Amino acid sequence: YLDLVAATDDPTTPEKDGFTPGNPIGFRLWDYSAQIEVRNISSIYTSGDAIFSSQGTAVLEIHGSSAQPTIQIISPVPDREVPEDTADFDIADLDTIFSVTPEGSALEFTTTSDTIAISVRLDEFNVAWVSLAENWNGTGQIFLSATLHDSTLSDTVLLTVTPVNDPPSLFSMISPVDGWLGGTTTLTFSWSASIDHDTGETPAYDFALSTDSSFAIVDTFINVGTDTTLTFDSLAPGKYYWKVSAYSGIDTVWGSESDQRPWSFTIMPVALESAYPMITHYRLDNNYPNPFNPTTTIRYELPRQSRVMLSIYDINGRAVANLVNATQPTGLYSVTWDAGDLGSGVYFYRIEVYSPHKNGTGEFRQVRKMILIK
């Protein structure tokens, strides 16, 4: 209970210190801590009435209490289920989820989740948006909260992300390099490893070999399992094409996009090989053309099976490309370099050869200069 006493002006003093008779009495109450006007009150005039009719006082007794605002969830957000790798989506407009009584108070909204795989953010219109981590599936809770002063209320949404099959990761064919030419009839094919994102394991590989670039006729098809190498001991002379795919149960990925452009190699017959000068030493030729824009071809020769590293460096000695990093049999090789994403200038290409006959020590190194002009 609170008594408010109002009095009329004292006519015996010059100051204005009260109400003028005949004027109505009005009042408003303000809750300072909550910064809102108190409306849910009732009042009774216990002495006098609501209008000063004569000189004197009026006493007002107020019944009630300060009204604390109450946050309510008026429209709970239903639980949600989406497939893995779903693009960002909105889950709720928080202005329609929460309300405050009495009206007029501004709510502060926040959003969180119980897993780093689920990211929740609010836009300028108080709409909650959800972003999912790549290749993640499972369940998580999203917390949509409204706060007013020291009071917070949250709506919890259970989000279920169902798994979908992901294709294996991209991988590259390594050896023999595209366009390889040599006289050996024993070749080891190799490619980098692919990963099945769903299991974290290596998928199975299928290897195809043909003398027909369109693979209308497949001479050899082998399910290699999870191995990344395959050796042929006695290939007949001729030109061949090969490609490799990784299969995860539903999706297939081709190494180096070999389904669109298979790699080729040529095994020379003995009579034809003897028509060429014998390869007796390592050799790195000048690139052609030089200067170039933006592609150039680098040729080199191997007199025996060796591990080859062929790299490109800029004028500051920084490596900008690694063209070859593989063990290759005897033969003549050519590699095309596309410098389309680099600027004009002087570049260097270096070959390093490690022979198994010298216990892996370096046997041949050479550096040559080339000029890119755009």
- From residue 312, alpha-carbon distances to 25, 204, 364 in Å are 93, 33, 17
Co-location of 177 and 266 in the same domain: yes
Question: Which of residues 64, 80, 103 is at a domain's end?
Answer: 64
Co-location of 109 and 28 in the same domain: no
Contact between residue 360 and residue 341 where contact means Cβ atoms under 8 Å apart: no
Mean pLDDT of 126-140: 94
Question: Which of residues 224, 244, 274 is at a domain's end?
Answer: 274
- pLDDT given at position 271: 44
Top-confidence residue, 118 or 21: 118
The range of the structural domain enclosing residue 318 comes to: 283-372
Query: Does residue 167 lie within any of the structural domains?
Result: no
Q: What CATH number should be reported for the domain holding residue 134?
A: 2.60.40.10
DSSP per-residue string spanning 167-201? PPPP--EEESPTTEEES-S-EEEEE-----TTTSS
Contact between residue 68 and residue 39 where contact means Cβ atoms under 8 Å apart: no
Contact between residue 165 and residue 86 where contact means Cβ atoms under 8 Å apart: no
Q: What pTM does this model have? A: 0.43
- pLDDT given at position 65: 47
Half-sphere exposure of 59 (CA within 13 A, CB side): 6
User: Which of 56-60, 224-228, 296-300, 349-353 shows the lowest mean pLDDT across its residues?
Assistant: 56-60
Co-location of 270 and 182 in the same domain: yes
Query: Does residue 368 lie within any of the structural domains?
Result: yes
Co-location of 177 and 263 in the same domain: yes
pLDDT tens, position by position, 26-56: 666 666 566 676 666 555 555 555 554 555 5
Respond yes or no on whether the N-terminal peptide bond of residue 83 is cis (omega within 30° of 0): no
Query: Does residue 168 lie within any of the structural domains?
Result: no
DSSP per-residue string spanning 7-41? EB--TTSSS--SBPTTPBP---EEETTTTEEE--E
